[in-house]
């Protein structure tokens, strides 16, 4: 495991998150936590691990949701390193590239940096090995293991991340768009939601484990085709 980045790793010009959108993203994140907690009945009895997994899945999927919208409207092309598509023998599509990676982990305002920052403030010292995680997800893209979180013994998520998305993501869209946040920046709202989820779980789940759950669900869900989740995409 490795330390999280403590400062900017890449630029954020492509998201245009100035102070006003950033404030909207924070507020949206608060609303998203409340919405998902109500939908999932996120209590200790229902499993905070499941809630963290859901937050991670929604955050990861929001990156590919923005990517495919960009591809569809022509503002981004399928061209390395920004955006790459792999079509599996059964027709399933997977997406890769720096557009996703920046939002997941590489820029200052990213899912991992915000999640790890909160966890570190709560005493966490060790964090997921991101290169290993990204490589494992890429290698499993064609296998039955794709999207299955790899967690410590005794830690389980009852529902697969993709099933969580099918069940809950469409209901998240009105919340994510409530304050006029651009779809490119939905990931930021989700990252702020993850921060709140880690903080609210701190007395029951080690923050180091919380970050691992989030990222194990987020990274694979950033690769799936939105049309496999949203019937009206």
pLDDT digit string, tens, across residues 136-182: 999 999 888 899 999 998 888 989 999 999 999 999 999 999 999 99
User: Above 50 in pLDDT, residue 13?
Assistant: no
Which residues face 93 on adjacent strands? 87
Using DSSP's 3-state secondary structure scheme, residue 94 falls into strand
Q: Which residue has the higher pLDDT, 7 or 55?
A: 55
| Number of alpha carbons in the 13 Å side-chain half-sphere of residue 28 | 26
211 has pLDDT over 50: yes
Look at residues 227, 229, 231, 228 and name the one whose alpha carbon lies nearest to residue 69: 227
φ, ψ for residue 94, nearest 5 deg: -125, 145
- Using the structure block, give the residue that is written with the tokens 């997406």: 95
Domain extents in the chain: 19-228
Residue in this structure with the two tokens 């570190």, named with its chain if needed: 120
Alpha carbon distance 195, 106 (integer Å): 17
pLDDT at position 194: 99
The C-alpha atoms of residue 37 and residue 193 are separated, in whole angstroms, by 11
Strand partners, 95: 85
pLDDT tier, 15 (very low <50, low <70, confident <90, very high otherwise): low
Q: Which two tokens stand for residue 34?
A: 């409340």
CB environment 194-230: b (16+ within 10 A), e (fewer): bbbbbbbbbeebbbbbbbbbbbbbbbbbbbbbbeebe
- What was the pLDDT predicted at 225? 98
For the chain, give the mean pLDDT: 90
Q: Which tokens go with 226?
A: 């939105």
What's the pLDDT at 144?
A: 85
Helix orientation angle between 186-200 and 207-221, rounded to the nearest 10 degrees:
150
pLDDT of residue 67: 99
Average pLDDT (53-62) is 98
pTM comes to 0.90
pLDDT at 154: 86
Long-range contacts of 62-65 (CB under 8 A, 24+ apart): 62/176, 62/186, 62/187, 62/189, 62/190, 63/99, 63/100, 63/103, 63/104, 63/111, 63/187, 63/222, 64/95, 64/100, 64/221, 64/222, 64/223, 64/224, 64/225, 64/226, 65/183, 65/186, 65/226
8 A C-beta contact, residue 31 and residue 178: yes
């Amino acid at each position: 495991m490795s330390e999280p980045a403590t400062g900017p790793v890449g630029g954020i010009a492509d998201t245009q998150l100035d102070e006003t959108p950033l404030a909207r993203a924070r507020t949206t994140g608060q609303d998203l936590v409340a919405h998902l907690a109500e939908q999932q009945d996120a209590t200790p009895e229902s499993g905070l691990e499941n809630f963290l997994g859901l937050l991670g899945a929604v955050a990861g999927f929001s990156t590919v949701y923005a990517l495919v919208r960009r591809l569809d409207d022509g503002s981004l092309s399928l061209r390395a390193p920004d955006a790459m598509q792999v079509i599996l023998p059964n027709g399933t599509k997977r997406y890769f590239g720096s557009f996703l990676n920046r939002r997941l982990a590489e820029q200052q305002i990213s899912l991992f940096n915000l999640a790890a920052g909160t966890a570190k403030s709560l005493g966490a010292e060790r964090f997921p090995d991101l290169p290993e995680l990204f490589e494992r997800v890429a290698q499993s893209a064609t296998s039955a293991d794709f999207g299955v979180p790899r967690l410590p013994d005794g830690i389980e998520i009852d529902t697969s991340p993709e099933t969580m998305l099918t069940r809950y993501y469409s209901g998240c869209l009105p919340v994510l768009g409530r304050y006029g946040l651009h779809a490119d920046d939905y990931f930021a709202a989700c990252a702020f939601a993850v921060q709140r989820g880690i903080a609210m779980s701190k007395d029951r789940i080690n923050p180091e484990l919380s970050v691992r759950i989030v990222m194990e669900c987020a990274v694979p869900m950033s690769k799936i085709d939105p049309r496999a989740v949203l019937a009206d995409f």
